[in-house]
């Protein structure tokens, strides 16, 4: 096969074209070597085959040839560097050009094939911007996102916080209106890992798009949801941040239970070996709650809390000192 | 060599400007390239490049601050696009872009500062990129470097005294020097990971930011003085930023 070449870099597709086949296929073209200027420095030691592929790719880019053979060539480029964004954009152009006069069915077929290609590259390159953007293009062109949530779920099963996966999932949900079932999905993820902050972020995202974040019923229900998860792991910042994010815009008195919960946890006594029982988290949120109420006593109390936090949470001492200084200003 | 008038002259300034305009979307965001993804990195790169080459004009800036502000989440930090999770890399990009647009004051600043502060790890002194994720030396810059920016905005609003850091700079230095250095040179994400150029670059960038902090108890002053002053918006030595700005301002005065 590629006898003289070293194996393809880890994480790339197996290249399916021998260099002899490639040079035959493009025998009519003159490859363009990379121009590294008159005095190259830090020259990359490309594996054999890489340069050949890129030399021909440069030529077809210059020629503007969008064809079956150049589509194949782009695959060879991507196999050797999945982050070559030019090659991905080139693929999209090829598919458009090749099917400019095709029937809708033929175009659908082409984008489905491309989505399959994209899926394989995606599983090999989980943190690659180009693969995920390409997927959006394919799915947009297909106008069908019905299988996408399952695909993302597969990725998240391997890496539950994959940033690209979550961003793409948000796009699919909004684009195709597939909101139903998402809160359940988030619930499942939180049962697996209550500290999955991406899942918490997703919950906010879903509610913001589908519900009224100022509704007292919703706020009470969400506060209860958050509190239940604080119960499971009181030092976990995610539900505390979620509570703060939900209530700060509308006012903490929308759900009086929250202040009560903070007071309970802020009082000493919940500590266990290795955990302060959520005391620092609770005190931090209590500062915000008291500030919002604004009475003289409560401002004094929040200042005192900041002072205490400066000692209990020393990495943030300067921050707590500043916060304390801003109270009542 | 680089950083010279000859090097700057290699740049086709007008073409660069029109490229940036072509990347601009109707919603105010910027794609990374033609037919590419649009996220806060695009806005930051566009704003930074435009500023350095003296081309940040109304047409390029229109609507971008509004879009960036939509990327701030309920946690206070900023995500890649509106709705995505608050993340150190994207927080830096959005904040720096807004600083260049002179509209960082429109962020929910108390929430941003609270989130940034919460990202410093109590035991290791380094920064995590998102809530409940692991420390990583590259965030020494993305998160650490966001602090001088936010300090500057707060100071301009009269909300922060001049000599105050809102993070623990000695703690960050401890993480970089003790945990991020690899045995034979170079820096790494965390112990157990291999060194690489990306982590070397951003650990050292974070080190440069921390060296410029005001409260550096326990850090030898001769060492501090030996570290170059880096502009936290561009992550380039201040002197070089000034040099580039002057060059392109002069170039603008004499259009080709």
A136, A292, A318: best to mutate for the B interface, most B CBs within 10 A: A318
Q: Give the active site residue among B41, B138, B175, B202.
A: B138
The model's pLDDT over A54-112, given as tens digits with 9 standing for 90+, comes to 999 999 999 999 999 999 999 999 999 999 999 999 999 999 999 999 999 999 999 99
A273 three-class SS: coil
Of A89, A167, A238, the CB nearest to B132: A238
Residues of B in contact with A162 (CB under 8 A): none
A10, A95, A163: best to mutate for the B interface, most B CBs within 10 A: A163
Tokens of B243: 């040099």
Please count the other Cβ atoms lying within 10 Å of the Cβ belonging to residue A267.
12
Question: Is A90 at the interface with chain B, CB within 8 A?
Answer: no
Q: pLDDT 10s digit of each residue in chain B, 256 long?
A: 888 999 999 999 999 999 999 999 999 999 999 999 999 999 999 999 999 999 999 999 999 999 999 999 999 999 999 999 999 999 999 999 999 999 999 999 999 999 999 999 999 999 999 999 999 999 999 999 999 999 999 999 999 999 999 999 999 999 999 999 999 999 999 999 999 999 999 999 999 999 999 999 999 999 999 999 999 999 999 999 999 999 999 987 776 5
Please count the other Cβ atoms lying within 10 Å of the Cβ belonging to residue A323.
26
B181 three-class SS: strand
pLDDT at B255: 62
Tokens of B60: 């390029």
Distance from CA of B247 to the nearest CA of A (A): 24
- Contact between A293 and A319 (Cβ < 8 Å): no
Residue B210 half-sphere exposure toward CB, CA atoms < 13 A? 33
- Contact between B176 and B210 (Cβ < 8 Å): yes
Rounded to 5°, the CA angle A205-A209-A212 comes to: 105
Q: Give the alpha-carbon dihedral of B139, B144, B147, B149, to 10 degrees.
A: -70
The dihedral sign for the CA sequence A43, A49, A55, A57: negative
On the 0-12 / 13-18 / 19+ scale of CB atoms within 10 A, B231 is middle
| Known catalytic membership, residue B87 | yes
Task: Kindly report the pTM of this predicted structure.
Answer: 0.95
Q: What are the backbone dihedrals phi and psi of residue A274, each rounded to the nearest 5 degrees, phi first? A: 80, 0
**Rounded to whole angstroms, how far apart are CA atoms A157 and A207?**
23
Of A238, A313, A316, the CB nearest to B131: A238
Question: Is A185 at the interface with chain B, CB within 8 A?
Answer: no
Residue at token pair 């062109």:
A141
Residues of A in contact with B73 (CB under 8 A): 201, 204, 245
Chain B residue with minimum CA distance to A209: B83
Say if the Cβ atoms of B35 and A89 lie within 8 Å: yes
User: Which residues on neighbouring strands pair with residue B128, listed in sequence order?
Assistant: B135
Residues of B in contact with A322 (CB under 8 A): 160, 164, 166
Burial B177-186 (b: 16+ CB within 10 A, else e): eebbbeeeeb
């Amino acid at each position: 096969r590629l006898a003289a070449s070293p194996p393809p870099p880890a994480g790339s597709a197996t290249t399916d074209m021998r260099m002899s086949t490639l040079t035959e296929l493009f025998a009519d073209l003159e490859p363009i070597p990379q121009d590294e200027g008159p005095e190259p420095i830090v020259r990359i030691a490309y594996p054999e085959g890489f340069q050949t592929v890129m030399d021909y790719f440069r030529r077809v880019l210059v020629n503007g040839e969008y064809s079956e053979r150049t589509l194949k060539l782009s695959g060879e480029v991507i196999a050797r560097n999945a982050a070559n964004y030019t090659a991905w954009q080139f693929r999209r152009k090829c598919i458009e050009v090749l099917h400019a006069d095709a029937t809708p069915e033929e175009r659908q077929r082409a984008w489905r094939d491309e989505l399959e290609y994209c899926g394989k590259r995606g599983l090999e390159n989980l943190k690659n911007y180009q693969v995920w953007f390409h997927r959006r293009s394919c799915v947009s062109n297909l106008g069908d996102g019905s299988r996408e949530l399952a695909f993302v779920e597969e990725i998240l099963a391997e890496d539950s916080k994959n940033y690209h996966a979550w961003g793409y999932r948000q796009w699919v949900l909004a684009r195709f209106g597939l909101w139903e079932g998402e809160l359940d999905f988030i619930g499942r993820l939180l049962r697996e890992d209550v500290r999955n902050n991406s899942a918490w972020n997703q919950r906010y995202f879903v509610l913001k798009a589908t519900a009224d974040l100022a509704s007292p019923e919703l706020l009470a229900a969400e506060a209860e949801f958050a509190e239940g998860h604080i119960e499971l792991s009181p030092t976990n910042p995610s539900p505390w941040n979620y509570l703060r994010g939900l209530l700060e815009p509308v006012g903490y008195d929308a759900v009086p239970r929250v202040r009560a919960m903070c007071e309970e946890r802020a009082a000493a006594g919940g500590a266990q070996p290795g955990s302060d029982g959520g005391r620092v988290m609770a005190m931090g949120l209590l500062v915000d709650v008291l500030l919002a109420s604004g009475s003289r006593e409560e401002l004094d109390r929040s200042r005192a809390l900041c002072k205490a936090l400066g000692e209990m949470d020393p990495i943030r001492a300067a921050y707590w000192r500043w916060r304390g200084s801003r109270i009542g200003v | 060599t680089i950083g010279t008038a000859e090097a700057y002259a290699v740049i086709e300034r007008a073409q660069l400007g029109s490229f940036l305009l072509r990347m601009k979307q109707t919603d105010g965001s910027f794609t990374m390239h033609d037919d590419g993804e649009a996220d806060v990195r695009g806005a930051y790169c566009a704003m930074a490049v435009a500023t350095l080459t003296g081309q940040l004009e109304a047409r390029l800036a229109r609507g971008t601050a509004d879009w960036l502000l939509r990327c701030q989440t309920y946690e206070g930090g900023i995500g890649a696009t509106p709705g995505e999770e608050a993340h150190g890399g994207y927080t830096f990009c959005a904040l720096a872009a807004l600083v260049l647009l002179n509209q960082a004051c429109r962020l929910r600043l108390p929430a941003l500062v609270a989130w940034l502060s919460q990202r410093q790890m109590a035991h290791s002194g380094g920064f995590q990129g998102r809530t409940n994720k692991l420390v990583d030396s590259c965030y020494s810059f993305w998160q650490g470097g966001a602090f001088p920016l936010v300090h500057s905005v707060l100071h301009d609003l009269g909300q922060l005294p001049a000599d105050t850091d809102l993070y623990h700079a000695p703690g960050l230095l401890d993480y970089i020097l003790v945990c991020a250095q690899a045995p034979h040179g170079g820096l790494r994400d965390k112990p157990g990971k291999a060194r690489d150029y990306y982590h070397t670059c951003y650990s050292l960038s974070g080190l440069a930011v921390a060296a410029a902090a005001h409260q550096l108890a326990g850090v030898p002053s001769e060492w501090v003085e030996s570290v170059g002053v880096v502009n936290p918006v561009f992550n380039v030595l201040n002197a070089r930023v000034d040099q580039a700005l002057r060059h392109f301002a002069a170039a603008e005065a004499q259009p080709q």
